[in-house]
Structure formats: C-alpha cells, structure tokens
Amino acid sequence: MTPEEVMKILEKSEAVLDGHFLLSSGLHSDRYVQCALATRDPKDGARLGAGIAELFKSDPPTLVVGPALGGVIIAYEVARALGVPNIFAERVDGVMTIRRGFKVSASDRVVIVEDVFTTGKSTMEVAEVVKQSGATITGFGSIVDRTGGASKLPMPPRSLIALKFNTYQAGECPLCKSGSTPIKPGSRPKPA
C-alpha cells in the first residue's frame, strides 16, 4: 500500500481534520488525524491492516497487541492479515494493563500496532506491559507516523504514511493569539 493510497483513504473518510487542536503532548496544532474515521468502513480498515501486515511479513510476529482505544481496530486487522492472534491493552485507573483473560507468553514475538504515532506514550506503556511477560517485541506499526522522524520508540516504527503538521507551544500558538480555543479530539485525557 502506497502513501498515496493511504492518503486517499484518510481524505475520503475525512480523517484529516483542520482547526485548532490540543494534542496529548500539550502542544497545539492546526491539523489532526482521527484514524477512527479511516477504519469506519471495514473495507478500508482491512486494506490498512493488510498494508501494515505487509511491513512485518519478513519477520512475522506470533501476537499483535494494540492499545485501547485507538489501536484496537487496526491491530485486529493487522493480526487478521498476518493470521495470528490479537489482544489489546487498556488503562485501568490510569495504568496500562492487559486483562479480560488476554495473555502474553514469554515465547511470544509481539508487534505493537497503533493508529497514529505522535508522542509514543501509549505505545511505550503497552511495550512495558508486554516486556513484563518476558515476550520479545519485534516491531511497532501504525497507519500514520506523526513524529516527524523524532520517534522515541526503541526501534524505528513501520508506518504506512508519515505526516508532519504544524505544532505550537500553548503560549506561542498563533491560533490562540487570534482568539481561537483548541479542542481535544483524542482518547487520552487533557494534558495538565
């Protein structure tokens, strides 16, 4: 799957939003990617999942893990395309946890799949939970990489498309200076 094909899905589903957004990092931006919209059509979700799965076929995992909420659907589609099991991790009282009877064994080779890499916070929280099981993390995959090449993940992420948006510190945000108020569209609580 080419970046152009991914962009067509993002545009068709209206997943790339223009406005004034408060990101989980605390930064402000004039654009935001809401990948939940890109996977709303099951055919598009399956295509995106198969595209990410292709990035891992040379060294396939035995398990795909996604963080709730953003990674649940796309991680499932990646696992389906690879023909391996899928689970998700979720926050309980603010702590990323694997529950619901899901298990990660020490013999598992795990790929962690997210919808968008921005700060990598949720992904790294999932990685910590997976490491506690003794499993080996073999990669990180996503639909979109918004890190601008500044990923803090322990190995380079494999993403279908890289997008770079303008970001601003709150006190220097031109959108705020023009009187606009940012909205928080993501799934993580508003930064302190």
Residue 186 has what pLDDT? 66
Task: Identify the domain containing residue 13 by its residue range.
Answer: 3-177
Residue 62: what pLDDT?
97
Does some domain include residue 144? yes
pLDDT of 46: 97
- Report in angstroms the alpha-carbon separations of 105 from 68, 74, 119, 136: 20, 22, 27, 9
CA distances from 111 to 99, 123, 138, 143 (A): 18, 11, 6, 14
Does 61 reside within a domain?
yes
Distance CA 136, CA 37 (A): 31
Does some domain include residue 31?
yes
User: Looking at residue 192, what is its pLDDT?
Assistant: 46
Asked whether the bond before 69 is cis by omega within 30 degrees of 0, the reply is yes
Residue 185 is assigned to a structural domain of this protein: no
Identify whether 191 is part of a domain. no
Walk along the chain (192 residues) and give the pLDDT tens digit of each residue. Answer: 999 999 999 999 999 999 999 987 788 999 999 999 999 999 999 999 999 999 999 999 999 999 998 899 999 999 999 999 999 999 999 899 999 999 999 999 999 999 998 878 889 999 999 999 999 999 999 999 988 777 788 888 999 999 988 899 999 999 999 999 999 886 555 544
Looking at the whole model, is its pTM more than 0.75?
A: yes
CATH code of 37's domain:
3.40.50.2020
* Domains of the chain: total: 1
User: Are residues 20 and 181 in contact, defined by beta-carbon separation less than 8 angstroms?
Assistant: yes
User: In whole angstroms, what is the distance from residue 3 CA to residue 177 CA?
Assistant: 34
